[in-house]
Amino acid sequence: MKTPIRIQPLIDSGLVDEVVRPLMSGKEADVFVVRCGEELRCAKVYKDALKRSFKKAVLYREGRKVRNSRRGRAMERNSKYGRAQQEDSWQTAEVDALRRLVDAGVRVPKAYSCFDGVLLMELITDAQGDVAPRLGDVSMSAEEAIAGHREMLQNIVRMLLVGIVHGDLSEFNVLMDQHGPMIIDLPQAVDAAANNQAGWMLVRDVNAITSYYGSYAAELLGRKYGEEIWAHYEAGSLQPELEFTGLIEEPADAPDVDGVLDEIEAVSAEEQERLQRLREFEADQSSS
């Protein structure tokens, strides 16, 4: 097939030998199967911000550390350089998260390198060597659903113990290989301690996963696994081996997640409009 323009530099540098075929197209990236020597791997090509359909990206960037103070100031001012740095931060967040999670024993693909917006990583396959299906494409018994749900909670807990919340977890970004579920797609991963939205994002992730497994094992439905996990995290008592029941009382003043999102998005839009007016004013002043 014709080599995508963004992957050509990896071929020129010897990191990739050839592009075998497209694998999938998502809201933030296109993924290709590539050959590297005798191995097949994935090349994830991130879409430009204007083409990416991932909503409310500003919520996920909150709390991300920027080592270079000049980059940080530029990102805050939303200058042209700052927007480029925001994009670079979005693209490198996934490889940083994957490497930390592999070390923590979380089932995620191994990341090999990230070069100019292309992440080269492990290709996940099933027992027959074919590309592993998504969790949402797999049928299971009630017993398998309960076991899979328990394993997913353990992975989510291990992520949280190293300070990471997926932020967009569902049956569509979990692959099923011969050993069980494997979590993918982490460019939007948030810092559990530094992002003020991390708590409800964690609850939303757990609710989405529980809802899917609950379609095969109804006894999982209606339980507060996410709230239980987050409560242990805030109390400092979270451990990988904990067994969760989801049987907790929800506080009467539990936040309206959708309402919070709408308010944050409105504030963000107002700030973007203010910055745009400021740039137009400065442009008028410089031209007069």
pLDDT (tens digit per residue) in 209-229: 999 999 999 999 999 999 999
SS3 40: strand
Give percent of the chain above pLDDT 70.
Answer: 72
The reported pLDDT for the residue numbered 62 is: 59
Q: Are 229 and 153 in contact (CB under 8 A)?
A: yes
The pTM of the full predicted model, rounded to 2 decimals, is 0.77
236-287 pLDDT per residue, tens: 999 988 999 999 875 555 556 666 666 666 666 666 666 666 666 666 666 6
Per-residue pLDDT, averaged over 158-180, amounts to: 95
Q: Are 232 and 242 in contact (CB under 8 A)?
A: yes
What domains, with CATH codes, occur in the chain?
Answer: 8-235 (1.10.510.10)
18-39 pLDDT per residue, tens: 999 999 988 788 999 999 999 9
The reported pLDDT for the residue numbered 257 is: 60
On average, the pLDDT of the chain sits at 84
Q: Which residues pair with 182 in a beta bridge?
A: 175
45-84 pLDDT per residue, tens: 998 765 544 455 555 565 555 454 554 444 455 555 545 5
Residue type present at position 250: E
Element (H or E) spanning 264, and its range?
helix 257-287
> What is the spatial distance between Cα 187 and Cα 168, in angstroms, rounded to a whole number?
10
110 pLDDT tier (thresholds 50, 70, 90): very high
- Six-digit token string for 256: 């309206």
Region of residue 139 (phi > 0: left; psi between -120 and 50: alpha; otherwise: beta): beta
The reported pLDDT for the residue numbered 74 is: 44
Residue type present at position 268: S
Q: Are 206 and 226 in contact (CB under 8 A)?
A: yes
> What is the spatial distance between Cα 52 and Cα 108, in angstroms, rounded to a whole number?
23
Query: Which residues are within 8 A (CB) of 26 and not within 5 positions of it... i.e. 6 or more apart?
Result: 185
Instruction: Dump strand ranges (E) for 37-110.
Output: 39-46
